[in-house]
A and B are shown apart, each in its own frame.
Chain A
Amino acid sequence: MLSFLLSRLVQTLLLLVVMSAIVFAGVYLIGDPMATFISPDMTAEIIEKTRRELGLDQPLHLQYLRFAGSALSGDLGTSFIHNEPAVHVILQRLPATLELACVAMLIALGLGLPAGLYAGIEPKSLGSRAIMGFSVLGFSLPGFWVALMLIMVFAVTLGWLPTTGRGAVVQVLGLPFSVFTLDGWRHLLLPAINLALFPLALIIRLTRAGVVENRRLDYVRFARAKGIAPSRILLLHVLKNIAVPLVTVTGLSFGSLLAFAVVTETVFAWPGMGKLLVDAINILDRPVVVAYILVTVLIFAVINLIVDIAYAALDPRVRLGERAQ
């Protein structure tokens, strides 16, 4: 277990170095941050002074070394638009995104599992066909379109829910959360549904496929022959056997919900990390973009670690130490 954790740590560090170099070079290639701020009033002296101050006059490799040097001491640079440390700006937005992604994931699991199980047991019924049809829609409808439709129907036409924003928040452990207020839930519901749509479809299809496949296997027939109640077979034995792929997909989807809720957050003006990333890319706020990717790498590394540990817990055949080699 310890060697597994250690090798994971080394892998993650390597990944961080490689990703930082790739992203840094990528953003550098896109263009000059100064040029996006073209202003009629800037004189040449001022442009040059600013370039020097921000280190933009240096060649790429020197800029990267300078960045890497201060990154080692925990400083990923200062945001060009917020004038605060990039990591701070990102972590400030993390609670909002975390809360949105968690609620979305709960919706996806809470609806997706029962629906998938049902569709697996009764694959030919009308209900299953409806569920499967819905899951196809969940995959194929573009997220921003669904988001706008949700706003138009529930906020503008029916007037039940607010269109955008986060609503009232409550400080819990020093962090702002909106899941503890009614107003917060009213704001949270639409973006969470919008965000849940894709993982919901994924979980439905995965669960259904697993159930259909497992029901034909010997252990299920044997259990049935033994006279075990069908519900017990399904919820205890089958579910356990399809849990491993489900955990993987849930983990990965949760990671992308956290890191790339970009479209949903932008349309619903949800003040989370995704919206921050879009704004940062739009005006080439390089420190925030690079720091964001690094934070994302960390999030995925942690989630994958949790997923692997969950494997071991779910499937006795899996040994973590061996997987690492």
Chain B
Amino acid sequence: MKTIVAALATAVAVLAGTGASTVQAQQITIGTATTPSIDPHFLFLASNIAYFRHVFGSLTVINKGMLEGDLAVSWKATGPTQWEFKLRPNVKFHDGEPFSAEDVAFSIERVSKLPNNPVTYAANLGSLKDVQVVDPLTIRLNTARPEPLLPTSISRIAIVSRKAAANASAADFNSGKATIGTGPFRFSAYVPGERYELVRNDAYHGTRPAWQKVVFRVITQDASRIAALLAGDVDLIESVPPADAAKLRGNADLAVHVGPSHRFYFLYFNLVQDSNPFITDRQGKPLGKNPFKDIRVREAVSLAMDRQAIVTRVMDGAAEVINQFASPRMPAFNRELAPLAYDPVKAKKLLADAGYPEGFGLTVHCSNDRYPNDGRMCQTVGQMLARIGLEMKVEAMPKAIYFSKVPPPKAEFALGFLGWGDSSGEASTGLNGLVRSYDATRKTGLYNAAGYSNAEIDRRLEALAAESDPALRNDIQKGILALVAQDIPYVPLYVGSVVAVSKKGIAFNTRPDELTLATEASPAK
């Protein structure tokens, strides 16, 4: 049904195009795809970070790929397991109360203690042990292990007012009582499931935003969001499916904004099991062995992928081909690695060499409601592998079912499609999560869907964890990426794009971390 809706939306998008009215100055209405959590410490999702960035400040912030100070003006490592942050003086909360180190300590403590939180922001605090308030403008964070990425990850912790948020419940945040921050906008109103309204904070310490008022309208359905923009009900919409964006380009009243994302997409093999129900002979009987343990078969799958066609046809240009397990925007992206070839003839030959001249039966698994075009990608991969002689089945399923079967120790699928994004812009979380050996007792490689294991890589990742020099970190990661490229546990496909569409007359910067921020929008000059 989803695809039909999307197809309809594009069909009508072309028909329409008269509705969009001129931009109402001073106010921007943004059609968003997700329900916000107004409590900035509840439910650590990129979409929630986007919402809280408007109202709350954080110690650091990432802008244009660079780490900058927000409520902190400087920071340095004062020991192997200690970071010190100097705070910005003369900052006031929306209620006029002064900001101090106590608010930072309170916020960090609240993040770890907030009960009933399925995805906690404490994930950004690493092995934090305790917080030391040195003076009102100095704070020290002590960790159990060296945490070289702490200044980056702490950008995802919102600093709330200790006075307003002490003992506050979700209802207190929803009513605005506890929603007191230092950000560019102040809370105005929240109607659950429908709208979130903000007004400009004129006492904001940073760049003054262009809008006096920001209204977020929650419209989860892609087609409805597009219709709302076409009718002029909203000024800007996020998460536009690439195919729709391609059609909307033809509309003179609209502006399409496309930018690169950190999220990259790839296929994973099952390298662990000796036999898998999704690998059969051509007649559908269990094959009894796992062909993916042979690197020639893995290489054949990679050679069968026509990445250029995926980018231009499936993703309508809103993607970029990659040749490794990282995004080109990451500093650790290894530019010395060769592009990955598309060569179905060679792929067939490799299959024959590996003992499968007739191919074999294989099911590819994907989610169908998580990434742009994930369901279509499933079919595409199926067709491309059928072209080199495999008997393909395609199974796309809702993310709620799919993702519980992907990570080890379950790792049920033989071949699957996955995306991985990292808001910090390092390759290391992906390497630690998916490439490092899975070890249930030592808790490593928790998302290693392939069951890949390479002792040399594990050793280098161990070294990376203790390294704090950015240049050396990049070198280590580049080396690991080269090793992964040799072994092909994953088949890199493309890096995605962030697609937003607005009325003509609004300038908007997309962000690689996929956050939709009103501060990135302004009336076009």
Is the Cβ of A44 less than 8 Å from the Cβ of B116? no
Is the Cβ of B400 less than 8 Å from the Cβ of A36? yes
Is the Cβ of B405 less than 8 Å from the Cβ of A152? no
Is the Cβ of B5 less than 8 Å from the Cβ of A83? no
A82 at interface, CB cutoff 8 A: yes
Q: In the complex where A46-B122, A163-B228, A276-B193 touch, is A54 in contact with B116 (Cβ < 8 A)?
A: yes
Is the Cβ of A165 less than 8 Å from the Cβ of B221? no
In the complex formed, the residue of A with least CB distance to B8 is A148
Within 8 A of A (CB), among B12-60: 12, 15-16, 18-19, 35, 37, 39, 42-45
Is the Cβ of A157 less than 8 Å from the Cβ of B19? yes
B220 at interface, CB cutoff 8 A: yes
Q: In the complex where A84-B170, A144-B1, A163-B233 touch, is A32 in contact with B404 (Cβ < 8 A)?
A: yes
Which of the residues B115, B174, B403, B447 comes within 8 Å of A31, measured between beta carbons? B403
Is the Cβ of A43 less than 8 Å from the Cβ of B443? yes
Is the Cβ of B447 less than 8 Å from the Cβ of A38? yes
B286 at interface, CB cutoff 8 A: no
B505 at interface, CB cutoff 8 A: no
Distance from A143 Cβ to chain B, minimum over Cβ atoms (Å): 11
A132-160: CB near B (< 8 Å → 1, else 0) gives 00000000000011001001100111010
In the complex formed, the residue of A with least CB distance to B1 is A144
Is the Cβ of B217 less than 8 Å from the Cβ of A164? yes
Bound CA–CA A267/B222 (angstroms): 9
Bound CA–CA A40/B428 (angstroms): 10
A53 at interface, CB cutoff 8 A: yes
Bound CA–CA A98/B381 (angstroms): 45
Is the Cβ of A34 less than 8 Å from the Cβ of B123? no
B124 to chain A: which residues have CB within 8 Å?
Answer: 41
B176-214: CB near A (< 8 Å → 1, else 0) gives 000000000000000111110000000000000000000
Distance from A45 Cβ to chain B, minimum over Cβ atoms (Å): 7
- State the total of A-B contacts with C-beta under 8 angstroms: 182
B217 to chain A: which residues have CB within 8 Å?
Answer: 164-165, 269
Which of the residues A30, A34, A269 comes within 8 Å of B219, measured between beta carbons? A269
A contact residues, range: 35 or more
Q: In the complex where A43-B443, A81-B43 touch, is A35 in contact with B407 (Cβ < 8 A)?
A: yes
B115-129: CB near A (< 8 Å → 1, else 0) gives 111111011101000
Is the Cβ of B446 less than 8 Å from the Cβ of A39? no
Within 8 A of B (CB), among A159-176: 159, 162-166
Q: In the complex where A81-B43, A156-B231, A268-B224 touch, is A41 in contact with B403 (Cβ < 8 A)?
A: no
Within 8 A of B (CB), among A239-254: none
Bound CA–CA A278/B224 (angstroms): 15
Is the Cβ of B221 less than 8 Å from the Cβ of A82? no
B523 at interface, CB cutoff 8 A: no
A77-110: CB near B (< 8 Å → 1, else 0) gives 0101111100001001100000000000000000
Is the Cβ of A155 less than 8 Å from the Cβ of B227? yes
B338 at interface, CB cutoff 8 A: no
For A80, A89, A163, A279, which residue has the most chain B Cβ atoms within 10 angstroms? A163
Is the Cβ of B123 less than 8 Å from the Cβ of A46? yes
Is the Cβ of B224 less than 8 Å from the Cβ of A157? no
In the complex formed, the residue of B with least CB distance to A272 is B193
Bound CA–CA A266/B39 (angstroms): 24
Is the Cβ of A37 less than 8 Å from the Cβ of B118? yes
B515 at interface, CB cutoff 8 A: no
A33 to chain B: which residues have CB within 8 Å?
Answer: 118
Is the Cβ of B9 less than 8 Å from the Cβ of A148? yes
In the complex formed, the residue of A with least CB distance to B369 is A282
Is the Cβ of A151 less than 8 Å from the Cβ of B429? no
B332 at interface, CB cutoff 8 A: no
B66 at interface, CB cutoff 8 A: no
B5 to chain A: which residues have CB within 8 Å?
Answer: 144, 148
A283 at interface, CB cutoff 8 A: yes
Distance from A100 Cβ to chain B, minimum over Cβ atoms (Å): 13
Which of the residues A80, A84, A157, A279 comes within 8 Å of B118, measured between beta carbons? A80
Bound CA–CA A162/B231 (angstroms): 7
A50 at interface, CB cutoff 8 A: yes
B194 to chain A: which residues have CB within 8 Å?
Answer: 165-166, 269, 271
Distance from B175 Cβ to chain A, minimum over Cβ atoms (Å): 12
A283 to chain B: which residues have CB within 8 Å?
Answer: 400
B399 at interface, CB cutoff 8 A: yes
- Sorted nearest first, the 6 A-B pairs with minimum C-beta distance are A44-B443, A31-B404, A271-B193, A35-B404, A271-B194, A83-B170
**A interface residues with partner B (beta carbon < 8 Å):** 30-47, 50, 53-54, 78, 80-84, 89, 92-93, 144-145, 148, 151-152, 155-157, 159, 162-166, 266-269, 271-272, 275-276, 278-279, 281-284
